[in-house]
Structure 1
Amino acid sequence: MNKIEKLTNDILREIGSLSRAIHSISDIKYKELKLQKGQFIFLTRICENPGINFVDLSNMLKVDKTTTTKAVQKLIEAGYVDKKQDETDKRGYKLFLTEKSLEVYNLIIEEENKNIEVCLEGFAKEEKIVVNKLVKRMSKNIEEDWKNKKR
């Protein structure tokens, strides 16, 4: 029988669990806004980056283009996003927010801020800064590997 490898550190499992819990809470909250599972992450990034294209949105969120296309199409159908042909590249499209998305954007950000408060409850100000820096560094470290794997 082969030896079973041991995990050297469970940090990614903890981060994954944290992410799934937050997404689950958010999906329940946003159901009343008629946003489907996980759509809020696409909506917020489009609101924060008006005119973003599908490829850049996919790269920003670390998801494949098919996932982005499906999510954005549902947001368009729900009236949250407008898609306009790119004037310099007729094959591409740029994504823009609508009045409807502006109405819910602040609610989404409020909810995200509440989740951050809950997650960082009991942390000193310095600890919050350190956690933020370390997670950003982890994200930057994995980004190159993600880009290579997706090719």
Structure 2
Amino acid sequence: MKEDILHQIGSISRALDSIANIEFKEMDLSRGQYLYLVRIKQNPGIISDHLAQILNVDRTSAFRSISKLEKQNLITKQKDDENKKIRHLYTTQLGEQLAKKIEAENAYSNQKVLSGLNKSQIQQLKEILATVEKNAKTEWQLVKNGGKREY
């Protein structure tokens, strides 16, 4: 039963990701970069380590995507006033415009995939998925930090 649920969650995620990758290709964003851009817009001044945690990716993957966004002039890095090793991330004007388009697509996709559900069902789904997400993040942290899972 659990595998069937994870299969469905994965299928939904892959379908929406594929749609986004096709639609955002014209924005010259490669796979997944749109996630980084929107999170930076939503969290001005975020640092790369925190962004990696939010997206559940390793720091190396985050660094690569952030570097690409910076080369495309979609984000900027600014040094921290106190700790010169820390770089805060901000969207540029162009990045802000693209992020708004991405957010509009996300709202549209949410509306489409939730059609046929009433408000109560949507709220239940949100609560259930929040628990599933929390559990997945716990497992990700365990494995990322060298822990072993017993099957």
Question: Do the structures match in fold with TM over 0.5?
Answer: yes
Provide the secondary structure at the position in 1 that maps to 2:90.
strand
Aligned CA-pair RMSD? 1.2
Q: Are 1:112 and 2:113 an aligned pair?
A: no
Residue in structure 2 matched with residue 149 of structure 1 by the alignment: 143
Provide the secondary structure at the position in 2 that maps to 1:142.
helix
Deviation at 1:8, TM superposition (A): 4.3
After superposing on structure 2, the runs of 4+ consecutive aligned residues of structure 1 that deviate more than 3 Å are none
For residues 8 and 82 of structure 1, the distance between their equivalents in structure 2, rounded to whole angstroms, comes to 42
Gaps of 5+ in 1: 1-6
Deviation at 1:128, TM superposition (A): 0.8
Residue in structure 2 matched with residue 92 of structure 1 by the alignment: 86
For residues 149 and 26 of structure 1, the distance between their equivalents in structure 2, rounded to whole angstroms, comes to 28
For residues 131 and 112 of structure 2, the distance between their equivalents in structure 1, rounded to whole angstroms, comes to 22
Q: Deviations 1:80-138 (Å, cap 9, x if unpaired)?
A: 00011222222221111110011112211110011111211111111111111111111
Residue in structure 2 matched with residue 38 of structure 1 by the alignment: 32
Residue in structure 2 matched with residue 67 of structure 1 by the alignment: 61
**Amino-acid identity (%):** 31
List aligned pairs for 1:14-25, cutoff 5 A. 14-25=8-19
Choose from 103, 117, 124 the match for 1:123. Answer: 117
Provide the secondary structure at the position in 2 that maps to 1:17.
helix
> How many residues are matched?
145
Structure 1 stretch displaced more, 105-114 or 136-145? 136-145
**TM-score if structure 2 supplies the norm length?**
0.91
Residue in structure 1 matched with residue 132 of structure 2 by the alignment: 138
Gaps of 5+ in 2: 146-151
Residue in structure 2 matched with residue 3 of structure 1 by the alignment: none
Deviation at 1:54, TM superposition (A): 0.8
